[in-house]
Structure 1
Amino acid sequence: MQARVLPELLAQGADIVVEGDARLFPLLNRTFPSVTTTPLLLELENWLKADPADYRASMLSAWRWTSSGQGADAESLAAYLTLDPESVAAFRERWNAPGRLLQVGLSWHSGAKAVGRAKSVVPEMLAPLIQREGIQFHSLQYDMDEAAVAELSDRLGSLLVFDRGGDTRDDIDRLAARIAALDLVISIDNTTIHIVGAVGTPCWVLLPCQSDWRWGREGHTTHLYRDMWLDRNRTPGHWGAVVAEVVPDFDAWHRDQKASHGRCQRPCRVGISKAIDVAHKFGRL
């Protein structure tokens, strides 16, 4: 989310040094080769000893100097991260099968200490979504090993694909490539959805009653990512109504994808109010 400010700051002539999590550096270095990346300096005295800079600010605060922080059109919210094309192609080749199965990623649990429980969905609640033919579902959970995913697959009656090639938590560059190879992601509010939005894969987000400030309080669309749809829970701890709303929309998306042979890129959702909301978001009204 926050790296979206970098292109505009670079266009203004800024010489940028990003201090942050080293797991993000492969993506940032490929996308913004002129930006210098360095591990985050957490202690104030380390900041003071670091190379002098004219300005120091959190990347989130830097939005105030860009048009992104003052509202943005749909095109400026498009995917902006540059991925390793060979890695994306390798995932697609690995999943390719006769009949062109659609690939859908799922994430349902947050380990955040303060708000994780409120954001998480019991995976059995997703059973009405995943018990379908013609779709291959992928676990995007960062806190489950292969055995746990296999055990959950047995409980749900549908195979969840586990990525044996790397740790989802530590290899974010690989995770981004894997997400880019998917047709859709359905997830709770977590770090993963910001990667999804930044690479441009359509994403449906299941939000808790008291969601994070960045999602606002109403509406199905967001000013952060173009191809993202927000499903808001109105009853704390009870996700049944939200899933029940998603199921027919998911069926409609599945039909549209099959009819277009997988070329429908936008998150297709049904309902007059939703269609109007999407049209406004994408500049069609």
Structure 2
Amino acid sequence: MPGRPEWDGSDLAGRRLAVERREGDLAIFFQFASLLGPVVAAAERCTVLVEPRLAPLYRRTYPGLDVRLEGEGEVAATDADVFACFETLAKHFWPDEPTARAPFLPLEPDRRLVAELRSTYLARGPGPLIGFAWGSLNKSKDLPALDDWRALLGNLPGRFISMQYGDVGPALAQFERWAPGRIIHDASVDQLSDMDRFAAQIAALNTVVTISNTGANLAGALGVPTVVMLDDGFRLSWPAFGETVATYPSVRLVRKGGQAWASAMQEAGGRVMQIISGVGDGR
């Protein structure tokens, strides 16, 4: 693009780099968050343009990063020698999976708020605190039915913290029958308007079990032990094969694999039990 030279992977010493999202949804800011550490170390200055709700997380995690808000005028006005998208950074800083895992640095939530939320939830009863989400506005997703959650909620100990957006009332009423007194819905957390508070909520949990969504990606970027249940459709956010995710070391994938959701839910529940029992990381 004229006037905006693309970074070609050459030495960044003494140069100012601007990083922007050119495609992809919110998950791209979580998937590639860890590569900003080596970028900041390599460049004289690194400016990143982020979705406004994520600015506090990025600024807290990388004090040396020049964090600006996405907007049409911001990119053109950024004083930089070279420009790059997140995928270009991944190509040069994460050329293979072992390298992708090495520099992982979790996003840093508001620790005061994390402690406050955790204390509030534990006041409702003993843990562990397990976050869960079950629904999506994306009609192309093959999702577990509410009844598929019955065994998982009934067999696991602790409190279940809803990470679900939208109208959750009917689903929570049904879940309450299977885990009476152990379902918590915190109306003060709204991921659609305050992502920083949502991040603090997730960081306050012991583990998360969820379908593929923004919360799953954020939990992975925060380093929270997470089990993500995937349908058989292709998802750009996740590897096509395997159970591990190079960009999220704390995440384990459970694939439906052409079976009924009940089988995948049973496997997911077993992995969560391993995590909260301290037996392993869900593998």
Match of 1:210 in 2: 233
Percent of pairs with identical residues? 25
Q: Is the 8 A contact 2:229 2:253 kept in 1?
A: yes
Instruction: Please list every run of at least 4 consecutive aligned residues from structure 1 whose deviation after the TM superposition is greater than 6 angstroms.
Output: none
Whole-angstrom distance in 2 between the partners of 1:35 and 1:91: 28
Q: Is the 8 A contact 1:105 1:184 kept in 2?
A: yes
Match of 1:267 in 2: 281
Q: C-alpha displacement at 1:109, in angstroms?
A: 1.6
Match of 1:140 in 2: 163
Whole-angstrom distance in 2 between the partners of 1:214 and 1:91: 28
Match of 1:282 in 2: none
CA 1:133–1:166 in structure 2 vs 1: closer, same or farther (change >3 Å)? closer
Match of 2:5 in 1: none
Match of 1:179 in 2: 202
Paired residues in the alignment total: 252
Whole-angstrom distance in 1 between the partners of 2:270 and 2:179: 20
SS at match of 2:54: helix
Q: How does 1:218-233 map to 2 (within 5 A)?
A: 218-233=241-256
1:41 and 2:71 equivalent? Answer: yes
TM-score, normalisation: structure 1? 0.77
Over residues 214-264 of structure 1, what are the superposed CA-to-partner deviations in whole Å (9 max), with x where a residue is unaligned? 53232111211111111111228x42221132334444445x24xxxxxx6
Match of 2:54 in 1: 24
Determine which of 108, 111, 120 is the counterpart of 2:137: 111
Whole-angstrom distance in 2 between the partners of 1:235 and 1:70: 29
Structure 2: give runs of 5+ residues left out of the alignment: 1-30
Whole-angstrom distance in 2 between the partners of 1:123 and 1:235: 19
Structure 1: give runs of 5+ residues left out of the alignment: 258-263, 270-285
Q: Is the 8 A contact 2:225 2:275 kept in 1?
A: no
Q: Is the 8 A contact 1:17 1:35 kept in 2?
A: yes
Q: C-alpha displacement at 1:110, in angstroms?
A: 2.1
Match of 2:90 in 1: 63
Q: C-alpha displacement at 1:21, in angstroms?
A: 0.9
TM-score, normalisation: structure 2? 0.78
The CA RMSD measured in Å over matched residues stands at 2.7
Q: Is the 8 A contact 1:149 1:160 kept in 2?
A: no
> Where is the helix percentage greater, Structure 1 or Structure 2?
1
Match of 1:244 in 2: 266
1:81 and 2:103 equivalent? Answer: no
CA 1:140–1:99 in structure 2 vs 1: closer, same or farther (change >3 Å)? closer
